[in-house]
Amino acid sequence: MIFCEDADTEETVTCLHMTFYHPCQDDKMMFRCLNFCEREQVRANEIATFGRDSNICRYNFMDSRVSRIQFSLQFYRKLDTSEFGFEIKNMSKKTKLRVDHTELGYLNKMDLPWKCIICFGEYQILTETQEGQSMDYYETCFHLAQMPLLQERCLPSLQPVPECGIFTSLSLSQDKSPKEIDENESY
């Protein structure tokens, strides 16, 4: 009989999943230098840089409209905790970086939310952090999206029925007026 207590504990590794999208990705192949669906180890003390200059950046975009260094990600341990996170910094003087609803100018940085969308130009990158315990390294795993990550959806707004006033909806009964029902009554 084998006891679990005697087995070595396997250390989990933080993994940053990044899903990339650009409307011209099929024609221009700007992501051809990225290894998709393969986990890649990155040393914890190494800053991951993204941009078009292959001599400087670890991850390259093959697009002349991308800055030599577009942005960087730095892995860190949060103060007084065992949790890890990433800090994102905009390295482009020409292009602002948007992380969800926050706009970063040149050299501005912030903590990367555990799930967010990074945008610059027509690029959209969904990032999701899978937590781990390793302090020596983390992993990246890249994916390619076929559809835009940000889509303007035209959903009808759900409007409350006013106490007094007119409510127009096609789903109301024949008399076209709302029915008030006591919360204790059944439908």
Half-sphere exposure in the Cβ direction for 162 (13 Å, CA): 6
Nearest Cα residue to 150 out of 122, 131, 175:
122
Q: How far is CA 116 from the centre of its chain?
A: 3
Residue-wise pLDDT tens digits, 142-177: 999 999 998 643 334 444 444 555 544 444 444 444
pLDDT score recorded for residue 10: 75
Nearest Cα residue to 66 out of 20, 108, 112:
20
Q: What is the DSSP letter of 144?
A: E
Full pLDDT tens readout for the chain, 187 residues: 455 555 556 778 999 999 999 999 999 999 999 999 899 999 999 999 999 999 999 999 999 999 999 999 999 998 888 889 999 999 999 999 999 999 999 999 999 999 999 999 999 999 999 998 889 999 999 999 999 998 643 334 444 444 555 544 444 444 444 555 555 555 4
Residue-wise pLDDT tens digits, 109-124: 999 999 999 999 999 9
Report the relative pairing of strands 137-144 and 15-21 from DSSP bridges: parallel
As a whole number of angstroms, the longest Cα–Cα distance in the chain is: 75
3-state secondary structure of 140: strand
Q: What is the pTM of this model?
A: 0.74
Domains and CATH numbers, the chain: 12-144 (2.60.200.20)
